[in-house]
């Protein structure tokens, strides 16, 4: 019996990956092949298995990577080969997405398929621009219309004489090139010239742009501003509501391209916060967190001393980073658990590190008011460290001020490497190109190592000559000092040395 695969025709939504459906995620996760369009968010591809084949079949302004009949043929071939195929199409594949044509081709070839509807740009993009396509008091009906019909048609099938005055809100998808024809036909068939019109480009993404006018003047405004596709056009009185309801483009960091230099494993909190405020994060991880070059022998030996009956043990364990917490407990939990820490006091350099302990059911005994080594030293001296045994599991290379000052105060300090940060050299060429093209607005540094590696990776690029339009923001004075020592201009330093503090500082700088 022939083993046929399944093709999932998935609506990828309007652009914001947060608007993608849970069913769509499930389908991508089990796909052998992902076939995706120009308007499908590339972030959705991250759900695909590492071994999945990714096939781009995008169509952009007449530049077609693959003709529609070839796309259908590809889906059939993959399905007949017994593969699971996730076909990603922008918006909803059955609303001007030609998904019906692909479904028919699969049906005729006997290939099983399923349709996974997506959120259509026809109503979601206007919503992100502050325009409800229906609203009591304005209109109770809406029509979705293609902005460009099949060019092989002998004549238009759009009933201009009926839709022009017969429907309250008209939404034209992908009609920028035909805008003159659209507005002309509407006015010629009775729609008043003063009817409000809005064009929304790259809707629901941080690149969103909106231009408004009337049927009489919108064509001129679009030409004058250089407004280009991809965009949708909304015609109707509901466009007036944008004046009160616009929200997406008003967020404090909207459209700002912000470089995130943290390691990819740690970047999610900062990236998420930036996205919520409207920014477009550009992930450029300058460091990777890896096992210490010498292995975990020193850390394991310290943990053995913690467990030893009648052994020296420790009075304090001081954690200076989330990575230190994560790797310490990975090693501790191999042959034991948190109960091994009974009787010891725990310190955390800041709230994120403290939270990492709390997730393990541990409440730190000490968190300094300022989240840097100097404040830890001051607090520990007040608690009394003379004669105390202090373990500090941390990065292999770090500032020596903390162990040195504690030792000078009479503490018996042992520093063990729990992890190592190494240079991550991926993406350096692309970052140079973006900086050269003026495509970066803000660069963030969350540690001295991210600064050092950033400068190393961009060796030969004149970072001291970055234009004033590029803001450099550091998480605290130590990181800022490293940046200045390396010749960088520092524009912002977070008052609270945390990721939320850095984000708050960025927002304050935009007001």
Long-range CB contact pairs, 462-471, < 8 A, 24+: 463/487, 463/488, 464/488, 464/489, 466/435, 467/438, 469/438, 469/441, 470/435, 470/440, 470/441, 470/442, 470/443, 471/441, 471/442, 471/443, 471/506, 471/509
Q: Catalytic annotation on 429?
A: no
Fill in the DSSP letter of residue 316. E
Nearest 5°: phi and psi at 277?
Answer: -95, 5
Tokens in use for 238? 């509901």
Nearest 5°: phi and psi at 250?
Answer: -90, -5
Which of 16, 37, 424, 441 is catalytic? The answer is: 37
Fill in the DSSP letter of residue 157. -
Task: Provide the pLDDT for residue 422.
Answer: 83
Residue pair 307/473 in contact (Cβ under 8 Å)? The answer is: no
Whole-angstrom Cα distance, residue 449 to residue 397? 9
Task: Provide the pLDDT for residue 1.
Answer: 42
Fill in the DSSP letter of residue 320. -
Whole-angstrom Cα distance, residue 100 to residue 77? 18
Task: Provide the pLDDT for residue 38.
Answer: 87
Task: Provide the pLDDT for residue 498.
Answer: 86
Distances (CA, A) of 242 to 129, 175, 189: 7, 21, 26
Closest by Cα among 183, 153, 180, 157 to 170: 183
Which of 4, 23, 32, 59 is catalytic? The answer is: 59
Tokens in use for 210? 């909106």
pLDDT in tens, 325-364: 999 999 999 988 888 898 899 999 888 899 999 999 999 9
Q: DSSP for 351-409, please give it.
A: HHHHHHHHTTT---SB--SSSSHHHHHHHHHHH--TT-EEEEEEESS--SHHHHHHHHT
pLDDT tens over the chain, length 511 residues? 457 899 999 999 999 999 999 999 999 999 999 999 988 888 899 999 999 999 999 866 555 578 899 999 999 999 999 999 999 999 999 998 889 999 999 999 999 999 999 999 999 999 999 999 999 989 999 999 988 765 556 577 899 999 999 999 999 998 899 999 999 999 999 999 999 999 999 999 999 999 999 999 999 999 999 999 899 999 999 999 999 999 999 999 999 999 999 877 777 889 999 999 999 999 998 888 889 988 999 999 999 998 876 555 899 999 988 999 999 999 999 988 888 898 899 999 888 899 999 999 999 999 988 767 778 788 888 888 888 999 999 988 777 888 888 898 899 999 999 998 888 878 889 999 999 999 999 999 998 889 999 999 999 898 988 888 999 999 999 899 999 999 999 999 998 888 899 999 999 987 5
Closest by Cα among 336, 365, 334 to 348: 365
Q: Mind listing the domains of the chain with CATH numbers? A: 6-119 (3.40.1010.10), 123-250 (3.30.950.10), 257-286+424-509 (3.40.50.10090), 297-422 (3.40.50.10090)
Q: Catalytic annotation on 141?
A: no
pLDDT in tens, 38-72: 888 888 999 999 999 999 998 665 555 788 999 99
Q: Catalytic annotation on 66?
A: no
Whole-angstrom Cα distance, residue 123 to residue 16? 14
Which of 89, 92, 174, 431 is catalytic? The answer is: 174
Distances (CA, A) of 486 to 135, 285, 291, 449, 476: 57, 19, 27, 12, 16
Residue pair 128/153 in contact (Cβ under 8 Å)? The answer is: no
């Amino acid at each position: 019996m022939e083993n046929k695969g399944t093709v999932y025709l998935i609506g990828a939504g309007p652009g914001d990956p947060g608007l993608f459906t849970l069913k769509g995620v499930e389908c991508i996760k089990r796909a052998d092949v992902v076939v995706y369009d120009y308007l499908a968010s590339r972030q959705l591809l991250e759900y695909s298995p590492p071994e999945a084949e990714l096939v781009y079949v995008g169509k952009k302004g007449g530049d077609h990577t693959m003709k529609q009949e070839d796309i259908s043929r590809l889906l059939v071939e993959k399905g007949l080969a017994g593969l699971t195929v996730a076909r990603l199409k922008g918006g909803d594949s059955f609303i001007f997405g030609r998904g019906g044509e692909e479904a028919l081709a699969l049906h005729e070839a006997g290939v099983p398929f399923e349709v996974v509807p997506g959120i259509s740009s026809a109503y979601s993009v206007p919503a992100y621009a502050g325009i409800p396509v229906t609203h009591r008091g304005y209109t109770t009906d809406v029509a979705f219309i293609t902005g460009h019909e099949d060019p092989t048609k002998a004549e238009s099938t759009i009933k201009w004489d009926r839709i022009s005055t017969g429907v309250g809100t008209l939404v034209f998808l992908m009609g920028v090139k035909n805008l003159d024809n659209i507005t002309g036909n509407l006015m010629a068939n009775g729609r008043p010239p003063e009817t409000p019109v809005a064009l929304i480009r790259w809707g629901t993404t941080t690149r969103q742009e909106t231009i408004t006018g009337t049927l009489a003047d919108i064509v001129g405004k679009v030409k004058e501003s250089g407004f280009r596709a991809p965009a949708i056009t909304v015609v109707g009185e509901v466009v007036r509501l944008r004046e009160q309801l616009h929200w997406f483009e008003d967020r404090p960091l909207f459209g700002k391209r912000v470089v995130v230099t943290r390691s990819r494993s740690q970047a999610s909190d900062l990236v998420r916060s930036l996205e919520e405020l409207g920014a477009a994060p550009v992930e450029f991880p300058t460091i990777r967190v890896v096992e210490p070059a010498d292995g975990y022998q020193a850390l394991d030996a310290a943990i053995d001393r913690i467990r030893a009956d009648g052994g020296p043990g420790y009075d304090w364990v001081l954690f200076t980073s989330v990575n230190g917490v994560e790797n310490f407990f990975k090693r501790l939990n191999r042959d034991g658990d948190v109960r091994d820490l009974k009787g010891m006091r725990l310190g955390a350099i800041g709230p994120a590190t403290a939270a990492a302990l709390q997730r393990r059911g541990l409440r730190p005994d000490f968190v300094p008011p300022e989240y840097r080594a100097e404040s830890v030293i001051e607090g520990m001296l007040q608690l009394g460290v003379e004669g105390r045994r202090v373990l500090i599991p941390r990065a292999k290379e770090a500032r020596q001020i903390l162990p040195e000052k504690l030792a000078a105060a009479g503490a018996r300090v042992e520093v063990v490497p729990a992890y190592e940060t190494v240079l991550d050299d991926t993406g350096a060429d692309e970052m140079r190109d973006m900086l050269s093209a003026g495509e970066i607005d803000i660069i963030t540094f969350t540690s001295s190592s991210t600064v050092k590696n950033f400068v190393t990776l961009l060796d030969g690029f004149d970072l001291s000559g970055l234009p004033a339009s590029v803001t450099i923001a550091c998480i605290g004075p130590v990181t800022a000092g490293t940046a200045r020592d390396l010749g960088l201009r520092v524009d912002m330093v977070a008052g609270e040395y945390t990721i939320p503090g850095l984000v708050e500082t960025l927002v304050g700088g935009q007001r």
